[in-house]
Structure formats: C-alpha cells, structure tokens
Structure 1
C-alpha cells in the first residue's frame, strides 16, 4: 500500500517538476529630475507604454520623477555598474567620459529642436555614443529629448551681459555650463536643482537659469521677478542606461528599447514645444516681467567658450552635420 502511494505521488509530481520555470520580465527603472507634470514626462510615459506593449510584457519600465532614485550622477554610476536603470541627462554630465558630448550644451550651438534632433541622429553622434559605451559603460537609448531654451532668472532687469556682473548665478556643474555663465558675466554657482528655490529665497544665490517647464515645476516664479529670454542653451537631453544591462537583453528587445526611446523623445519634445506659449502666459500672470534682449552681445560674449574648452574643431564637425 505504501509502495503504491509513493508511486502515485511520484507520477503526479513528475509533470510539475518537468515544467520549465517561467521567465521573469526584465525591469528598467527610469529616473528623472523632471516633475510628473513636466511636458517632457509625457515622452517617458509613451516610452513605457511602447516598450511594454511591443515586448508583450517581457520588459517592464518604471518611472521615477523628481529624482526619486537619487541624483543624476548617482544613477549614472549605478548604470556603469550594470544596474537596470536609465536617467534623462544633458551632455555635460557625459563629457567627463567622452568630451564631445559637452558641446551639446554649448551656447548657441544649434537653432532649436529640429537642428538638435538632426545632430542627435547623425553618424557623428553615433560615433560619440559608441565611444561612450567603451569609455564609461553607458548606453545611449536616444538623445532627442528637448526640454526648451534656457533663460536667465533674476531679481533685476538684464539687458546685456554687463548687467550680470557680480551676480552669483546657479548653473549645473559641467564645465560647458560653468564657462558659458562666466563668459556672460556672472559668477557660476553649481547647486543641485532641488536646492535652487531655497537658495534664491535665502539669497545664497542671486539668480538662476532654466527652461520654462522646469522653472514652473519648481515654482521659481515665487522667488524671481524677471525672465530674460537669452536662449543661451537649447537644452537637449538623452535617455542613458547601462551597456551591461542593455547587452544582456535579447536583440529584439534592444531594438524595441532604442526605437521606443526615439519615439518617446519626439513625443516629449513636441509636448514641450506646444507648452511654451502657455507657460509664458502663466508666468506673466504670476507677475513676472519677461523680456527678449538683443542676443548679439550674448552670442559674442560666449564665443570664447569654444576655445576655452577646446571645442573649435568639434564645432566645425557639428556645423557640417547641420549644414548637410
């Protein structure tokens, strides 16, 4: 009797034991300093939906706005170590690994999103991205995420670079940003974005610079009185992940990630462009004075940045791409 029971148990258990283990979906955690109501975030939501739908759930994307996973630099380090993370960052944060990326944030390098997208999808850019994979272990998924033009945010009127003399102006810590602000006449002061509001409120800094969606999302209109539309930087950013994690995925999923990142970047960029007039209207309603100065003195003042950072030759390559 005992023998028969054991045989029956073994027979019932065999199909269960032989059943192959279910494969687990891969997960990509996407971090961004953007708030969830930033128009560019619509692109991240489109990226998530596109990846999950086309992969039939084999790839899951989780979105973390407002830097919930840490600073951009922290997430870039996690990516280097092979974690399943990605982050929306500007080229300046990648320049320590491949210095050509820094020119993406250089002053007046392009004329708006169409030119920036042309550069970010060119063979020249692809060569930079391939070198980044080797140099730092980062994978560019796409670099067509346009956040808008960056303008000056102050508590006094600015009409020319000379009006910035003596002002402590917050900017990211990448060399191209620091040199741009210094060339414009202010004293560049690196600070995390999350600290800008309190620093302006407490007068630890005198001014800042940002694009409309970020300015609005962080409520900086409460602590500045003037916006000067210098458009000194056309802020293009990229969705950057881990080469190790990316290469671990099947070829089909790697294709999906890159194609959907490009589509998501276009979606978010178009949403940004469509929002700018509305943001300006809302900012004026908050009592801010918004002016557009003669840009020629600002362009002239910032030409020195390219020589200081040894970008003259790279700029010629970029200009050739844009002219082609």
Structure 2
C-alpha cells in the first residue's frame, strides 16, 4: 500500500472511530429531548385522598411512559397559593394543578357554574357524575382550553363542604355575622352574604393562622381537609350542611400537552381519568369515617335538619338568577346542570 493510500485509510478509520464514539452521545441527546418534566403542584392536604391520588398518578406517569415523562409532585401549597398555582399552570411554569372550576369565574363564568354555584345546585353524588362525567364535563374542558390555556383532563373531588366554626352554628340565626373564610371568588362571597354571614376572602394556606388569631370565626370545607390541615385544633363545631359540592378539575397546560408525542398525550389523559375515578370512589367511601375521626378528635357535630336546610336553600335561591345574569352561556349552563338533577 502506498503512503497516500495509508493516509486515506487512517483518516477513514479515525472518522469511523469518532462516529462510533459520538453515537452514544447522540443517543443520549435524543433521549434527553424525549424526556418531558411534568411539575404537578396543588393546595390539597398531604395524606388526603386527593393528594394520595396524585402520588399514584406520578408513579403511573413515570412508569408507563418508561421514563419519558418525569412527573414531580408538590402538594399542600409548596409552590404557592391557589391563585399563584392557577396562573403558573396557565403560563406553563408548572404543568398541572387542581382547582374547582369556579376558579375560572372571571374568565369563563359558565365554567364556574359547574362548581356548584351558587350553592345547593347538586342534589347528590350521582347528579355530580351525570354532569362532569358526561357531555357537560367535556364541554367545560374545551371552554377552559379556549379561554384559559389549560385542559381539564379529568375530574377529581374533595366532596361536599360543611361548616367548621369556633362557636356553634346550628341555624340561620346563629350564622348571622359569623366571619367565614371563603376563597377569593365572588360567587362564594355572594352566597355567604346572602345567608347573613360575614365572608372573608383569604388564601387557602392562611386558614389555620386566621383561625388562631381570630381573623375568622370559621370556614367551610370537606372533612378530609379539616383533618389534614388540622383546622379542628382551632375550631371544633361542625355543621354538616352539604351546601356545596366541590369537584376538582385536573388542569394541564394545553401547550405543554400539545407538545408531547401523541402516545404520551393519550397516556396523560387516560391515566388521569383512571386515577381520579378511583379517587372519587375512595373519597366518597371515606367521608363518613373522616367525620368520625373529627368526633374522636373532640369536635361536636350539630344536627342540620332537612327543614332548616330548606330555609338555607330558599334564602339563597335567587342567586341562581343573579349568577346566570353574568352571561347567556352561564344561564344556559346552570339550566343544564339543574335539569340533570
């Protein structure tokens, strides 16, 4: 072999060797591009059925995607309060949060109606399922996508809300003037004002300190959250009003979701529906036990007779028309919800 041919052969060998060495790096680069970080952050209590469902979903996403999705879970307002998390999910700082559809009131009031506005709109859990697991649930997900940049990929729940107060509240008379924490959402403020309470909008994460310092006299919540956040340490009177059913939309940033390969988009949606269907069953089965746990912790549960509940419903009924006046779409949504009950 001539010297020239030797030099050419040597260059080819070096090039092949360099290519061989580069191949694993290229593969690692391609793999890195296929990994999608999914930050899941919400305000629900650690140990609640809702938070436990997210724990399960994180494992499911990581395993079923074979590592292509790296799901990370931040419960109990670790990354911010509800208002912050909602905005972060819209702009894509986080990929997923959970909130009642009423959180979209300012942008899409017709969606807010599905969170039970303005109270006593849902008759029972079967009514909730008929609304959210059917055509209405799909409709509000599309509205959310179009107006807020998030998709409601599934619906969990924290269930019916009840009153927790420092001093006993047993009827409308004893409710008058009671300072109740409410979310920073107009429909909740209007509901309690109509019934005669003194609603005080506060972030979710501030409720314990507000109870302890006397900023509020009580709050309304599901039993799991009362236990998880230990609000019963500061207020020990429970009135089982069943006045509000709070579904929780699993909100995924639509741009992030659209940027996934088709199979991972399907995985996000299908696995969320699977996990939160189970969460709803667990939540409903465990609500009675949670109330017993509150009793064991020293809470007093006061009766709420049907005739008293009827007075609350009658006094707040005008809010349906008031809330429906927000827009024709809102009035239509309320009518559709009530027709399924």
TM-score with structure 2 length normalisation?
0.87
- Counterpart of 2:100 in structure 1 is 90
Alignment pair present for 1:134 and 2:142: no
Deviation at 1:285, TM superposition (A): 1.7
| Farther-moved stretch of structure 1 (296-305 vs 44-53) | 44-53
- Counterpart of 1:210 in structure 2 is 221
Equivalenced residue count is: 321
Alignment pair present for 1:182 and 2:196: no
2:120 to 105, 108, 126: 108
Alignment pair present for 1:284 and 2:295: yes
Deviation at 1:239, TM superposition (A): 0.8
Write the distance in 2 (CA, Å) between the matches of 1:266 and 1:113: 13
* Larger helix percent: 2
Query: Deviations for 1:217-236, whole angstroms, at most 9, x for unmatched residues?
Result: 11111111210011111111
Write the distance in 1 (CA, Å) between the matches of 2:170 and 2:93: 47
Alignment pair present for 1:197 and 2:208: yes
1:39 to 44, 49, 58: 49
Alignment pair present for 1:318 and 2:328: no
User: In 2, are the aligned partners of 1:92 and 1:175 still within 8 Å (CA)?
Assistant: no
TM-score with structure 1 length normalisation?
0.92
Q: Which runs of 5 or more structure 1 residues have no equivalent in the other structure?
A: none
Query: Deviations for 1:45-93, whole angstroms, at most 9, x for unmatched residues?
Result: 2322332333222222111111112122222222222345211101111
User: In 2, are the aligned partners of 1:32 and 1:65 still within 8 Å (CA)?
Assistant: yes
Write the distance in 2 (CA, Å) between the matches of 1:248 and 1:84: 14
User: In 2, are the aligned partners of 1:168 and 1:188 still within 8 Å (CA)?
Assistant: yes
1:99 to 97, 105, 109: 109
Write the distance in 1 (CA, Å) between the matches of 2:146 and 2:236: 46
Query: Deviations for 1:183-216, whole angstroms, at most 9, x for unmatched residues?
Result: 2210110111221111111111112111101101
Query: Deviations for 1:236-264, whole angstroms, at most 9, x for unmatched residues?
Result: 11110211111111222111111111111
Write the distance in 2 (CA, Å) between the matches of 1:173 and 1:74: 12
- Counterpart of 1:296 in structure 2 is 310
Deviation at 1:170, TM superposition (A): 0.4
Q: Which runs of 5 or more structure 2 residues have no equivalent in the other structure?
A: 325-329
Alignment pair present for 1:71 and 2:81: yes
- Counterpart of 2:58 in structure 1 is 48
Alignment pair present for 1:225 and 2:236: yes
| Farther-moved stretch of structure 1 (161-170 vs 80-89) | 80-89
Write the distance in 1 (CA, Å) between the matches of 2:55 and 2:221: 23
1:11 to 13, 16, 21: 16
Describe how 1:122-161 pairs up with structure 2 within 5 A.
122-143=134-155, 145-161=156-172
